[in-house]
Structures are given as C-alpha cells and as structure tokens.
Amino acid sequence: MNHTNSERLYTEALQHIVGGVNSPSRSFKAVGGGAPVFMKRAQGAYFWDVDDNKYIDYLAAYGPIITGHAHPHITKAITKAAENGTLYGTPTELEIQLARMLKEAIPSMDKVRFVNSGTEAVMTTIRVARAYTKRNKIIKFAGCYHGHSDLVLVAAGSGPSTLGIPDSAGIPMSIAHEVITVPFNNLETLKAALEKWGDDVAAVMVEPIVGNFGMVMPKEGFLEGLCKLAHDYGALVIYDEVITAFRFHYGSAQTFSGLANHEAIQPDLTALGKIIGGGLPIGAYGGRKHIMEQVAPLGPAYQAGTMAGNPASISAGIACLEVLQQPGVYEEMDRLAALLTEGIQASADRHGIPLTINRIRGSFSAHFCDHPVTNYDEAQDTDSEAFAAFFRHMLSQGINLAPSKYEAWFITTAHTEQDVEQTIAAAEESFRRMSA
Ligand code: PLP
C-alpha cells in the first residue's frame, strides 16, 4: 500500500502543528512511529486516504461515529442547522429536545447542561460535586481516562493510601494531592482509601464500563459496592459515560441489561459526550435536581460556554439518537461484533498467538495476552510489540484500527457482514505473517 502523500503531509504538518497531530492519540508513536495515515473522505464504514487507499474503519473517531461516517440523516440535520445559522448565543428549542431525549434514556439525570467536550463535562461534574459536598478530593480508578483537565490527569501514587502524582507536566502537586487513584474492580482498596480520606472525598468517579484500557466490565457487585461505599462516606458517585452512553443499547451503562441491580448502581452525576453529538463537538452532564441546582445561574458553581448547545451539534446529536432508536440497530451491531470476534479469536488460536478479546455488544478490545483483562495492570501486561505488528499488518490490508493497544474497536450501524469477513481474512493474514 502506497502512503507517499500521507508521508509528505506529515512532514508538512510537523512544521506547523505540534507533533503533526491535534490529539496525541492520533500519532503512531505507540505502534513504531512514522507518518499517521491522512484521511480525506469517509462514508459509512469506510475511509479513503490521500493516496486513494480504501479502509474499513473500526476507530469510529474514538467512538462518536456509531452510525458510520456521513450518515444521511445526520448530514441532513447538520446542513439544515448550518443554513439556519450555526451559533446564536441564545437558548433554542433544539436544546430542550436533546435534553429531554437524554433524560428519558438516562433517568438518573433530572437536569442536564450541554458543554463542548467530554473533558468539559467531566471537569464540571467534579466542580459540582465539590460545590455540593463542600469537600475537595476525588477518587478515581487507574487506567480510566476522563479527559485532559488537571484533576483527572493524575495517576496512582505508590499505593491506595497515598495521594496521586501528576500524569502530565504542568499539573501542580497541590492539585495531584486532591486525587486518589485505586485499581478498578477492587472494592478493598476503594474502602481503604475512603477509610483514610473519606471525610474530604467529594466524589468517586468511574467509567462504569471501562472503555479506556480496552473494554472492561465491572465485576459482579463492583458498582453496587462502589455506590454504597461512596454514599456511606458522604461522597457523590460520578459516572463518566462519555464512551458508554448509547454504546450498547439506547441508554447508558447505568441502565444496561448486561449489568444487574440497576437501582443500586445509579450515580449522582453523569458525564456524557461522543455519540450524543452525532460526530460534532459536544459534551453534557447531568444528575439529581438538588445537586445540579448548584450550577450557575441557580447556584454558586460556575460553568459557561460560548459554543455550548450550538444548534449544529445539538441537531446532529438528535439525528444520531433518532437513528439509534430504530428497531434492531443494536442487535445487528452485536451480531456482527460476535461474528468478527469469533473469527479473529479462532484465527489467533490457529496461529498460536495469545489473544484475549473483551466484547460488550458492538464494541470490543483485543489484548495480546493469555490472561483475562479486568483492570489496568492486566491491560498493561500485554504484548505491545505484537499489537504494533498486528496494527501495521491490518493497516496494510485496509483495516483502520486505533494506533494503541488500549483502544476499542467499534462496530457501527454501517458495517456489513462482508466487511466483517474481509476483516477476519485480514486478521488471518496478519497472524500468519506474525507467526511466520
Ligand atoms: N471520558 C472518557 C471516558 C473518554 O473516553 C474521553 C475521551 O476519549 C473523555 C472523557 C474526554 O472526552 P473529549 O475527548 O471529548 O474531551
């Protein structure tokens, strides 16, 4: 496959854009470096790059593109919004419509506020939780990604009873000291952290189903235990559902049939993004009325946004949810993902390549290891070189994956059985090359 134009553009991009990319996850650093592929067009399940190579896409732009690229219903909604003016700085009826749709699908949200990204949504839930509880600290789980605001870019200290250390330069230790990181799927360490710091913990923040070190389900009882422990210590529970909302069914993880005991796993605040913007920039957060009333103009917690609730993003979000309301869409993504993962697993097994696949309906992660992946340590303890080789072999056969061993594959409503068969054949060839 020829990538001459991508390589030329990358050289040019490096002169103007830091690292040549506008988000570090787009660089190929984790898969051996070099020029990332520059795409020029996307339609349905496919991409075409600047060298006219065609790809089947499983990146789905890191998750938002669940209906495939340039879905006609969404494109029409965006066009109409553009024709009517893209930004008003006033309230619109469209915002009420999307807020109502979100509330109907996610009943723990009595009140909603739109922002522009998942990062903003998460960042504000933390502010609201702090305002409500009048406490400072948050507890989060190792490997869960919650955007790039200061507080959530803090990694674990040396144990559950230590405070965090910054994961990025530019974050003061004083901020890191407000964050405690504990392992996912482990209630004992959460309990230990709460015993030590509980009277100053504003919130326990979690991806209820993890999407950022592969797709990882909470163990039975984990979310119930988490909610109970947090509430026992007077802390709020924040679910970061930026990836998971509308991912597995028309609703979020907190109402997903794959998790039991819904009443006991309801959060106080929820952060949303990705799918709810239909491919345009968006975020939203919401929660219980009395907690959300902390937010300005009703309450003392300030949050604002020039672009927030813009008619283009909101229209795209409504159109996307309308597509997802069609009967059978989630069942079909589930069916295709099952076919695909069974095919890939069987092929890896045939070639003696250790592979653990975590699939949750239409999304899955493929880990190069022979052990289960239930937390971040286990996700890290996988073969990075094998992933990089697999990624390159798949790309060379026209299969576009995220260039990171931690990212998920997303089936969209646009993928077909033929795409799945072609992908299984590419995986077979990749494993053959890897084991040769
Ligand atoms: N939360 C989760 C779970 C995410 O996966 C992401 C992004 O990948 C974010 C928050 C941040 O969202 P955004 O990139 O829209 O700021």
Whose CA is closest to atom 13 on ligand 1? 118
Question: Which of 309, 324, 339 is the endpoint of a domain?
Answer: 324
ipTM: 0.99
Confidence at residue 154, expressed as pLDDT on a 0 to 100 scale: 86
Residue 3 is encoded by which pair of tokens? Answer: 């990538």
Do 8 and 131 belong together in one domain? no
Whose CA is closest to atom 1 on ligand 1? 146
Measure 118 CA to ligand 1 centroid, in angstroms.
5
Q: Is the CB of 310 under 6 A from ligand 1?
A: no
Spatial separation of the C-alpha atoms in residues 413 and 69, rounded to whole Å: 10
Q: pTM of the full predicted structure? A: 0.97
Whose CA is closest to atom 5 on ligand 1? 243
Confidence at residue 167, expressed as pLDDT on a 0 to 100 scale: 84
Residues 6+ positions from 90 with CB-CB distance below 8 Å: none
Q: Is the CB of 207 under 6 A from ligand 1?
A: yes
Do 179 and 317 belong together in one domain? yes
User: Crossing angle for the helix pair 311-324 and 329-350, nearest 10 degrees?
Assistant: 80
Closest atom of ligand 1 to 212 CA is 5
10 is catalytic: no
Confidence at residue 155, expressed as pLDDT on a 0 to 100 scale: 80
Q: Is the CB of 244 under 6 A from ligand 1?
A: no
Spatial separation of the C-alpha atoms in residues 61 and 39, rounded to whole Å: 12
Do 34 and 177 belong together in one domain? no
Q: Is the CB of 212 under 6 A from ligand 1?
A: yes
Q: Is the CB of 243 under 6 A from ligand 1?
A: yes
By most ligand atoms within 8 Å of CB, the mutation choice from 22, 145, 184, 213 for ligand 1 is 145
Measure 275 CA to ligand 1 centroid, in angstroms.
11
Confidence at residue 157, expressed as pLDDT on a 0 to 100 scale: 63
Do 43 and 169 belong together in one domain? no
Q: Is the CB of 179 under 6 A from ligand 1?
A: no
29 is catalytic: no
User: Crossing angle for the helix pair 417-435 and 329-350, nearest 10 degrees?
Assistant: 20
Question: Which of 324, 349, 373 is the endpoint of a domain?
Answer: 324
Domain containing 20 equals 4-70+327-435
Q: Is the CB of 247 under 6 A from ligand 1?
A: no
Do 232 and 306 belong together in one domain? yes
Do 183 and 264 belong together in one domain? yes
Do 131 and 264 belong together in one domain? yes
Do 106 and 65 belong together in one domain? no
Question: Which of 324, 346, 381 is the endpoint of a domain?
Answer: 324
Do 247 and 362 belong together in one domain? no
Do 81 and 176 belong together in one domain? yes
Q: 286 to each of 138, 269, 363, how far by Cα in Å?
A: 18, 6, 25
Confidence at residue 159, expressed as pLDDT on a 0 to 100 scale: 54
Identify the CATH number of the domain in which residue 366 sits. Answer: 3.90.1150.10
| Domain total of the chain | 2
54 is catalytic: no
User: Crossing angle for the helix pair 384-396 and 417-435, nearest 10 degrees?
Assistant: 130
Do 55 and 187 belong together in one domain? no
3-state helix, strand, coil in the chain (%, to 5): 45, 15, 40
Do 101 and 65 belong together in one domain? no
> pLDDT tens track of the chain, all 436 residues?
999 999 999 999 999 999 999 999 999 999 999 999 999 999 999 999 999 999 999 999 999 999 999 999 999 999 999 999 999 999 999 999 999 999 999 999 999 999 999 999 999 999 999 999 999 999 999 999 999 999 999 886 655 556 777 888 999 999 999 999 999 999 999 999 999 999 999 999 999 999 999 999 999 999 999 999 999 999 999 999 999 999 999 999 999 999 999 999 999 999 999 999 999 999 999 999 999 999 999 999 999 999 999 999 999 999 999 999 999 999 999 999 999 999 999 999 999 999 999 999 999 999 999 999 999 999 999 999 999 999 999 999 999 999 999 999 999 999 999 999 999 999 999 999 999 9
